[in-house]
Amino acid sequence: MLELNAVQSGYGETQVLHGLTLEAKQGRVLAILGRNGAGKSTTLKTIMGLLPVKSGQIAFDGKPIPARPFDVARTGIAYVPETRDIFPSLSVRENLEIAASRFGAEGADWTMERVLDLFPRLGERLDNGGTQLSGGEQQMLAIARALLMNPRLLILDEPTEGLAPIIVKLIHDKLQELKAEGLSMILVEQNFGFATSLADDVVVVSKGQVVWTGSAEAIKADETAQHTWLGV
């Protein structure tokens, strides 16, 4: 579904991805794991058009991915960044309405009603400002907003970062529901247990390259790989 082939990318003169190759398959969850600074977030930003591809190719459904973030989103890829990027001066309702108005098509799968069914907590907070939300509520809002774009591929950067265990469990269960419905996902995550319980496929990144590829089951059983690449 999404293929990166020998991708090089980075920040200005600083090259971070050194020929990164991976594939996210339709209807499956791919976890991208690796130590701090390995290049996981850089990979996602490059897919989303937030950083330029210096060489190599990225293809979505066999076609080259557009270069600009808005066009990438329009092809059906939604991105929940590590920073969550809630509009702080807008209410929860307004944050959701913006996504729905930009990307919600007639007869689309994801409606305001449906995202509030998934996250009832947001329904209780509709008139609250973005900054009045807890970290967990902000993460729910960021995911809800991404779903309103009716993505075929949902990309999440460290969705559990800074969240209390009970909220981590809730986010896990919601993502599991989305997976059961067949939504394709890419997940960057430091929490090994969280990532491997959701993922089907795993790639491990180190120094801007993929150093391990296999199933979630295989990496759970491979203590050497965990120790070498993840310091688990």
Ligand X SMILES: Nc1ncnc2c1ncn2[C@@H]1O[C@H](COP(=O)(O)OP(=O)(O)OP(=O)(O)O)[C@@H](O)[C@H]1O
Angstrom distance (rounded) from CA 221 to CA 150: 35
Question: Does 36 engage in binding with ligand X (CB under 6 A)?
Answer: yes
Nearest to 54 by CA among 14, 4, 7, 13: 7
Question: Does 49 engage in binding with ligand X (CB under 6 A)?
Answer: no
Question: Does 225 engage in binding with ligand X (CB under 6 A)?
Answer: no
Question: Does 186 engage in binding with ligand X (CB under 6 A)?
Answer: no
Pairing mode, strands 2-11 and 14-24: antiparallel
Query: Applying CB under 6 A, which part among 19-27, 40-48, 125-133, 140-148 lies near ligand X?
Result: 40-48
Binding ligand X by CB under 6 A: which of 40, 125, 172, 179?
A: 40
Residues 6+ positions from 224 with CB-CB distance below 8 Å: none
Contact pattern from residue 5 through residue 24 relative to ligand X, giving x for each residue in contact according to CB under 6 A and a dash for the rest? ------x--x-x--------
* Sheet with 209-215: strands ordered across: 77-80, 153-157, 184-188, 29-33, 201-206, 209-215
Closest approach of Cβ 142 to ligand X, in Å? 16
Query: Applying CB under 6 A, which part among 37-45, 53-61, 93-101, 177-185 lies near ligand X?
Result: 37-45
Segment 91-150, which members bind ligand X (CB under 6 A)? none
In 57-212, alpha helices (H): 69-74, 92-103, 112-118, 120-124, 135-147, 165-180, 192-198
Question: Does 184 engage in binding with ligand X (CB under 6 A)?
Answer: no
Question: Does 207 engage in binding with ligand X (CB under 6 A)?
Answer: no
Closest approach of Cβ 56 to ligand X, in Å? 16
Question: Does 37 engage in binding with ligand X (CB under 6 A)?
Answer: yes
Nearest to 65 by CA among 42, 83, 39, 45: 45
Nearest to 42 by CA among 50, 33, 34: 50
Q: Specify the residue, 45 or 125, whose C-beta has the smaller distance to ligand X.
A: 45
Closest approach of Cβ 41 to ligand X, in Å? 3
Binding ligand X by CB under 6 A: which of 9, 41, 46, 138?
A: 41
Closest approach of Cβ 158 to ligand X, in Å? 7
Q: State the CB neighbour count (10 A cutoff) for residue 137.
A: 20
Number of H helices, E strands in the chain: 10, 10
Closest approach of Cβ 159 to ligand X, in Å? 13
* Binding residues vs ligand X (CB under 6 A): 11, 14, 16, 34, 36-42
